[in-house]
Structure 1
C-alpha cells in the first residue's frame, strides 16, 4: 500500500530550491507527496515532478490569535482529509501549529528548525509565549532537525524537547546545480560585492549600505555594491536614494541567482541570525569567496582567511574592515579562497547527505526499509 507524506511549509520557493531532493527521493521510494503552501510561485514545478499541492493561508509575520487559530483548524482539517502516514514541517508557524495538529491527532511528524527568528533576540513576553508553544507542539515530535548546534542548544536550554534531536548542516547545497565556475576576470578591474536576500534590518542591510558608502568614498568606481531580493520592510526609498548616488544597485529578485553569483567577486552576508545560510553554501559551491557575519549559520560555512572573511554582526566598522581587506587581496588570493570554499562545501554540505539523514529517520519512524 502506498505511503503518504504531507509537507507543511511557508514558501514554495524555499521548499523547491532547498529541499527538492528530499521530495524527489520520497517520490522515488513510492510515497505519495502532498504539500501544503500559502503561495504558488513554484507550484507548477512541484506538480510536474509528481507532488500534489494544496493551498493553506499563513501570515508569516507576527502573532495574530485569530489567524493562528484558523491555521490550526485548517491544518487539522487537512490532516483528517489526507490521512498522511508521516508529516514533515518546516519554519516557525508550520512547526508550531502543524506540530500541535499532528500531536492532537496522533500522527507521526518530523520538524525542522530553519532559524530562530527575531523573538529569541528580542526576549520579553513574546519569547515566553513562543517557547511555551514550541514546548507543547514539539513534545511528541518524532524527530526534530536543527541546522546548527547553537540553535539546538538554545532550544534545549529553554526546555523545548522532542523525542529525538538531530543536527545537520542546513539544507545542504546541490553541487551539480551550483557548479564550480572559474573566478571572473573583469576587464574594468571593478570589485563586485553582492548581497542576496530580503531587504530588512535583521539581514544587516543597514551595515551593508553604510559599508557601500564608505568604500565608494575610498575606492570610487573601482568598487560596486549590489543586492538581489525583495523589500520586506520600508527600505525602498532609502535604496533608491543610494542608487541615485551610484553607491548601490538593486537587482530584481530572480528565480535563478547562479548567473549573478558567477559574476560576483565576493558574496556578502551581514545577517544577525541564520539557520544555515543557503546563499553562502551556493556561493561557496560556485567558487566565490564569502564575507559574512561571525554567527552560527555562517561561520560553519565560511572559514575565516581560507574560504572568505568573517566580521562581527551588527558592526558596520567590522564589515568595512573586512571588505577593505578583501579589496587588497591579489587576484590569486581571491581565486584560492573560491577554490577552498568549493572543497569545503563538497566535504561538509552535500545535499544528498542531508537527504539521507531525513530518509533514515523516516525509515526508522515508519519501520520501512529504504535504499538510501
Structure 2
C-alpha cells in the first residue's frame, strides 16, 4: 500500500509515532509524510519515509491560506494516489479530510485534542465545528485520545459510530524506562515540559513558582520547551532571580525527567498528555490539572495529585502537598505510575489499533475492487 501521513510538524511525528511508521515500512508499505520542513525531517527520512514539503501555518486563522492548503492536499492526493491517508492535529484532520473526501481516498483521523478554537465558545468554535463535520464525515475511523473529546464530538454530531478510543500516543516503555528516584538530600526538583504558552498553564506555573520559592527556597523549578507566545522577558526575569531555570527547547527530555522529583503540567486542555505518560513511565509522580487528557494519566493520591486548571491557589496547594510527602511515599508514587503505564499505556496498544483499522480499510477496498471486477 501507499500510505500518506498528514501532520503539522516533525517533532510530534517522530517522537510519538515513530514506532508506527517503522512498523508500516517493515510491512513493505510505501510511507509518505506531508508536513513543513524542520529538523526532524531527516530523521523521518532515515526511517524510510518519503518527505513532501508542505506549507502549513499551525496557528494561523486566515481562511484563504487554509483554502490553499486544501487545494495543496487535493493536488498531492491526485499525484501520489495513496491507498490510505493518516491525519493528525486540527488542520490536517480538517483540510486533509476534506481533500480525501473530494478525491475519494480512504483516511483515518486522530483527534489529538480539542484545541483553543474549540474549547472557547463563540463564532470561531462554530466555524471550527462546521469544518470538522466536513473533514471527518467520510473518515474510515476517528481515533480519540480521551473519552471526553469523543463525547463532545458525538454530542455535536461530528462523528457517529466510526470512532475508537486509544491511550493517546502511548509511551515507549523502553525509551522511557524506570529510573531510580533522586537521592533524599538533593534539591527537590519540579519539571515542566511543554510549549511556553498560556494554554499550557504557564502563567499559573510562574506565579506559583514565585510563591513557593519564598517559603521553600530549596525547591527548584525546571522549565523545558520552546516559546510560542510572548513570555521571553518574564522567563528571563524569573531565571535571573533563581525562581526558575529555563532550559529552552530540548530535543531529548528524558535526562531532565530522570533528574526530577515530580512533573508539573497545569494545562487547560490536552488530547492525552505525552509528557505525563513519559514521566510516569520513568517513575516520576505527576502533578497535573484535572482536565481531560491529564486526569487519565494519574491516580489521585496514588501516582500523583490533581488541581483545578487556571488556579494558582490549587497548583500551590498541590506542590506543597507533594513537598511534605515522606521520601518513601514519593518513591512509591513513581513506582505505581510506572505500573500504570505498563498496563494501560504501552505504545504497542496504539500501534495494534492502527494496524487493525488499516486492515479493515484494505479488506474493504479489496472487496470493492472484487465487486467492480465481477460487475
**3-state DSSP class of the match of 1:247?**
coil
- RMSD (Å) for aligned C-alpha atoms: 1.0
- Higher mean displacement: 158-167 or 30-39: 158-167
Deviations 1:24-66 (A, max 9, x none): 1111111000000113221111111111111000011131112
Partner of 2:36: 38
The yes-or-no answer on 1:257 pairing with 2:257 is no
**3-state DSSP class of the match of 2:169?**
coil
- Higher mean displacement: 164-173 or 36-45: 36-45
Partner of 1:302: 298
Cα 1:120–1:131, aligned 2, differ >3 Å: closer, same or farther? same
The yes-or-no answer on 1:229 pairing with 2:237 is no
The yes-or-no answer on 1:200 pairing with 2:192 is no
Report if the CA contact (8 A) 2:70-2:98 is conserved. Answer: yes
Partner of 2:369: none
- Higher mean displacement: 161-170 or 326-335: 161-170
Report if the CA contact (8 A) 1:143-1:162 is conserved. Answer: no
Shift of 1:239: 0.9
The yes-or-no answer on 1:243 pairing with 2:239 is yes
Shift of 1:108: 0.2
Long gaps (5+) in structure 1: none
**Distance in 1 of aligned mates of 2:294 and 2:256:** 20
TM-score (norm 1): 0.96
Q: 1:175 aligns with which of 173, 176, 179?
A: 173
Partner of 1:110: 108
Partner of 1:212: 209
Superposed, 1:125-140 pairs within 5 Å as 125-140=123-138
**3-state DSSP class of the match of 2:250?**
coil
**Distance in 1 of aligned mates of 2:114 and 2:235:** 27
**Distance in 1 of aligned mates of 2:155 and 2:237:** 44
Shift of 1:21: 1.1
**Distance in 2 of aligned mates of 1:8 and 1:113:** 13
**Distance in 1 of aligned mates of 2:70 and 2:122:** 24
**Distance in 2 of aligned mates of 1:28 and 1:367:** 20
**Distance in 1 of aligned mates of 2:96 and 2:20:** 19
Superposed, 1:342-361 pairs within 5 Å as 342-361=338-357
Partner of 2:285: 289
**3-state DSSP class of the match of 1:300?**
helix
Moved over 2 A (4+): none
Long gaps (5+) in structure 2: 365-375
Shift of 1:186: 5.7
**3-state DSSP class of the match of 2:154?**
helix
The yes-or-no answer on 1:59 pairing with 2:57 is yes
Q: 1:24 aligns with which of 22, 25, 39?
A: 22
Partner of 2:329: 333
Partner of 1:86: 84
**3-state DSSP class of the match of 1:268?**
strand
Partner of 2:358: 362
